Amino acid sequence: MKARPLRPVALILATLALWLCPRPSAAATACGDIEVIFAGLKDRYQEELVGYGNADGGDVFILAAPEGATWTIVVHAPGQPACIVAAGRNWHVAPLPAPGVEG
């Protein structure tokens, strides 16, 4: 049987499941103090905060290196450690629609 590629909805659901479900101890190394995580990403990959927003129960932060060489998504809920939930290469910024214009 031929494997089908993941669809965007499945990828989003998988990311949310990883964020909401308890993590095994092996994954605990991807969680910690938010300032320590940000400093580590800056030191190792030259990533800087490029975007953030509020989600149900916490905040989502997007960090990217110059020219989008690498990127990381970090989530943080009040009273909880921050966790890296996704990372990759070749980050691209999509233009925002002008105010009052549907995108």
| The pLDDT value given to residue 25 | 40
Q: What residues are paired with 71 via a beta bridge?
A: 64, 88
Looking at the domain assignment, is residue 59 inside a domain? yes
CA gap 62, 51 in Å, rounded: 5
Number of domains in the chain: 1
Contact 3, 63 (CB under 8 A): no
Would you give the DSSP letter of residue 80?
S
Q: Name the band, by pLDDT with cuts 50, 70 and 90, for residue 94.
A: confident
96 inside domain: no
Query: Considering Cα of 70, then 48, then 12, then 99, what sign does the dihedral take?
Result: negative
Q: What is the pLDDT of residues 55-78, one digit of tens each?
A: 888 999 999 999 889 999 999 999
pLDDT over 90 for what percent of the chain?
Answer: 52
4 pLDDT above the threshold of 70: no
| Enclosing domain of residue 63 | 49-91
